[in-house]
């Protein structure tokens, strides 16, 4: 069982990193083979919309996404974490998400090799977990459309300073449990 963690926050050591790591730790405790990348440390270009991937099955951009394509195909489960920036995922996370178009065939079936569980993890400064629920639901639907087996979303709210999440023992325990269940 391989679990891939992707951190979409540019702030190293911040809340999103801690939330994703809690899920990954849970998975590792249950024997998963885990690997984590920080998207902001990678060389990721935006999709240029050439649509070569539709015909060729592969993206033509030669950057670190090529490694991530392999990691996604090798993974049984993926954990994607992002802080909310202006009501949505960070630009770093969006670069990764757009490039997943290479896995979508012209008839909207998938090039993913088998079932891949998918967990979304968010942190937000706003203390109300309900504020962005519509967006979280939309993201789950979108990853379902991309043929990922969406397991759910977790959100740590009211996180502003990088260690704020450490006070949220319930959320961190829930995150670990999500990882174990993968
Ligand atoms: C540019 C920017 C935009 C943000 N936009 C939002 C937002 O729309 N809603 C919100 O609740 N928090 C927002 N925040 C706060 C972050 O989502 C929150 O502090 C998060 O936990 C930061 O994650 P990190 O600790 O991994 O960096 C924003 C922060 C930044 C820097």
Q: What is the model's pTM?
A: 0.98
CATH number for the domain spanning 76: value is: 3.40.50.360
Q: How many domains does the chain have?
A: 1
Q: 123 is in which domain, residue-wise? A: 2-181
Question: Atom of ligand 1 at shortest distance to CA of 18?
Answer: 26
Residue 36, φ and ψ in degrees, nearest 5? -125, 135
Q: Which residue has its alpha carbon closest to ligand 1 atom 23?
A: 83
Rounded Cα distance, 140 and 144, in Å: 6
Q: For residue range 60-80, list pLDDT tens digits in order.
A: 999 999 999 999 999 999 999
Q: For residue range 82-96, list pLDDT tens digits in order.
A: 999 999 999 999 999
The CB of 165 under 6 Å from ligand 1? The reply is no
Nearest alpha carbon to residue 182 among 17, 29, 9, 18:
29
Nearest alpha carbon to residue 162 among 2, 4, 11:
11
The CB of 160 under 6 Å from ligand 1? The reply is yes
Kindly give the distance from the C-alpha atom of residue 22 to the centroid of ligand 1, in angstroms, as a whole number: 19
């Amino acid at each position: 069982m391989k679990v891939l963690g992707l951190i979409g926050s540019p702030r190293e050591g911040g809340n999103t990193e801690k939330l994703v790591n809690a899920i990954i730790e849970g998975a590792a405790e249950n024997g998963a083979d885990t690997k984590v990348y920080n998207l902001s440390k990678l060389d990721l270009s935006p999709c240029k919309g050439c649509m070569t991937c539709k015909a060729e099955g592969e993206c033509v951009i030669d950057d670190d996404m090529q490694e991530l394509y392999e990691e996604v195909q090798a993974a049984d489960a993926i954990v994607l974490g992002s802080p909310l920036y202006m009501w949505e995922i960070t630009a770093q996370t969006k670069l990764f998400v757009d490039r997943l178009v290479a896995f979508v065939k012209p008839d909207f079936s998938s090039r993913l090799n088998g079932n891949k569980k998918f967990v979304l993890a968010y942190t937000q400064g706003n203390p109300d977990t309900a504020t962005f629920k519509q967006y979280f639901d939309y993201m789950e639907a979108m990853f379902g459309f991309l043929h990922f087996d969406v397991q759910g979303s977790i959100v740590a709210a009211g996180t502003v300073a990088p260690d704020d999440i450490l006070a949220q023992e319930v959320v961190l325990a829930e995150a670990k449990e999500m990882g174990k269940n993968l």
